């Protein structure tokens, strides 16, 4: 492990520590008596008189759910108690007043996910025009909450669909398009489940502007994708053979109902705002890297790119930055997700796969690369990601490890675990998708 790799680790961990979800909620929400205002630069003024509602409800979905709910409840205070459901991927440190906690599966839905979907739909069915529903959304929600649109579709059927999607190589937007059209809780259908209620959805995610419906598969937003998109995606990635008969038959018959679109009455009283997103993550990482002595730029061009293309682009950016700033240590920071199809039966995810794809390209060079999930999870591994530097290839070969073989087996975690180069944080309670840090020191 070189000093440059250690610098990657330090920047990553300091960035995680600097992103405070509870503070983001309390910073963006101002309550004065019964008036609640959402502050900051938002496309529309979001405010509510809490005293005008007979019921306050809360639906919390995502890996950052506990921190978001805690922040929201502190803003509401004892004067305005809420009842609802909180769905998270790991047991929270404690129960929160008024909220029933459900621990559910990720990245594949489980019994908890189905229970959560049923409970949320039941809660929303009782909401009328004098109900205010807070939706607190963060990453992971597409698996954590699920209910099939069709009564004859089982949990096992939906699990098979999710597995087929995450291993087919489709970008996240295309995976979400398919999920939405088979689900009773995605693609605006939670908004449709409580059409008369005022719905205020607050999100924590680094989705780029204009793609907010990617967060938790857009349960309260108009769905920009269509059934025609689903049919095209299914054909492109040969999804039909991976689906159970109840799903496959409707796909092949082109018999999927459309999701709610802009202009639907379900969205007349629906509001949405990101309270913590891409800019906050970039700001923290940029500030920390610069404080560590690196001239730093941020670049999210590679979001949803195939892993090999993203590797080549970001390494080229790093080298170009080094040429532009001769004699100075430089840093490129990228966020978002890359597409890494599962090709073998190994352990790992897109972050460790990204780093593994860099190993031979940075060999014997003064470069270090880290990629890790801010939620602490990388695919099916116990790590958040991995780090590599110019010594990694030589150290691997000394142990008889071939990075190309491990890449083909989708076994990046095992490769880096043998070298002691995994990034292990455990569940962080945060989810701003992935962070990549590339360093070059002359």
Domains of the chain: 3-10+279-440 (3.40.1480.10), 21-276 (3.40.50.10180)
- Of the listed ranges 19-33, 220-234, 298-312, the least confidently predicted one is 19-33
HSE-up of residue 296 (Cα within 13 Å, Cβ side):
22
Nearest CA among 45, 55, 50 for reference residue 35 = 50
Question: Residue 63 has which token pair?
Answer: 């890996």
Higher pLDDT, 222 or 166: 222
How far from 87 is each of 27, 62, 144, CA to CA, in Å? 23, 6, 7
- Of the listed ranges 127-136, 190-199, 206-215, the least confidently predicted one is 206-215
Region 407-431: what's the mean pLDDT?
A: 90
Distance CA 268, CA 277 (A): 25
**Residues 145-198: tens digit of each pLDDT:** 999 999 999 999 999 998 888 788 888 789 889 999 999 999 999 999 999 999
Whether residue 134 contacts residue 57, with contact meaning beta carbons closer than 8 Å, is answered with yes
Distance CA 307, CA 323 (A): 24
pLDDT at 36: 94
Region 111-130: what's the mean pLDDT?
A: 97
pLDDT at 407: 94
pLDDT at 210 over 80: no
pLDDT at 44: 59
pLDDT at 18: 79
Nearest 10 degrees: CA dihedral of 94, 274, 381, 7? -100
pLDDT at 212: 84
> Average pLDDT, whole number, for the chain?
91
Higher pLDDT, 25 or 397: 397
**437 DSSP β-pair partners:** 333, 370
pLDDT at 1: 52
**Residues 254-303: tens digit of each pLDDT:** 999 999 999 999 999 999 988 887 777 888 899 999 999 999 999 988 98
pLDDT at 209: 67
Whether residue 437 contacts residue 285, with contact meaning beta carbons closer than 8 Å, is answered with yes
pLDDT at 118 over 80: yes
Q: How would residue 25 be classed by pLDDT, with cut points 50, 70 and 90?
A: confident
């Amino acid at each position: 492990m070189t000093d440059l790799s250690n610098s990657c680790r330090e920047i990553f961990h300091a960035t995680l520590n600097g992103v405070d979800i509870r503070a983001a909620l309390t910073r963006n929400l101002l309550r004065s008596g019964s008036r609640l205002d959402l502050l900051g630069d938002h496309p529309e003024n979001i405010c509510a008189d809490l005293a005008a509602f007979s019921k306050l409800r809360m639906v919390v979905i995502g890996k950052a759910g506990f921190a978001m709910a805690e922040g929201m409840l502190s803003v509401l205070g004892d004067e305005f108690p809420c009842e609802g459901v909180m769905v998270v991927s790991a047991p929270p440190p404690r129960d929160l007043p008024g909220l029933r906690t459900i621990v559910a599966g990720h990245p594949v839905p489980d019994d908890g996910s189905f229970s959560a979907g049923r409970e949320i739909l039941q809660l929303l069915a009782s909401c009328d025009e004098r109900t205010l529903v807070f939706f607190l959304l963060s990453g992971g929600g597409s698996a954590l909450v699920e209910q099939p649109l069709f009564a004859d579709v089982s949990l096992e059927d939906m699990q098979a669909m999710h597995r087929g999607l995450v291993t087919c190589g489709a970008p996240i937007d295309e995976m979400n398009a398919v999920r939405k059209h088979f689900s009773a809780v995605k693609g605006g259908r939670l908004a449709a489940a409580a059409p008369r209620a005022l719905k205020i959805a607050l999100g924590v995610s680094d989705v780029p502007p204009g793609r907010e419906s990617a967060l938790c598969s857009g349960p309260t937003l108009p769905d920009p994708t269509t059934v025609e998109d689903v049919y095209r995606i299914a054909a492109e990635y040969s999804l039909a053979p991976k689906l159970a008969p109840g799903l496959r038959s409707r796909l092949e018959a082109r018999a999927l109902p459309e999701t709610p679109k802009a202009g639907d009455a379900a969205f007349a009283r629906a509001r949405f705002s990101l309270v913590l997103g891409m800019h906050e993550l970039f700001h923290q990482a940029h500030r920390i890297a610069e404080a560590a002595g690196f001239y730093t730029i941020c670049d999210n061009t590679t979001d949803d790119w195939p892993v090999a293309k993203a590797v080549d682009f970001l390494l080229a950016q790093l080298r170009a930055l080094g040429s532009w700033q001769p004699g100075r240590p430089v840093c490129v920071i990228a966020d978002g997700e890359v597409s890494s199809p599962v090709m073998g039966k190994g352990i790992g995810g897109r972050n460790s796969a990204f780093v593994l794809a860099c190993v031979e390209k940075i060999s014997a060079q003064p470069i270090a690369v880290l990629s890790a999930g801010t939620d602490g999870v990388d695919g099916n591994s116990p790590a958040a990601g991995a780090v590599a530097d110019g010594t990694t290839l030589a150290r691997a070969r000394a142990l008889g490890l071939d990075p190309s073989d491990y890449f083909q087996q989708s076994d990046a975690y095992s490769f880096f675990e043998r070298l002691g180069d995994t990034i292990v944080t455990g569940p962080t309670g945060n989810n701003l998708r992935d962070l990549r840090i590339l360093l070059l020191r002359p």
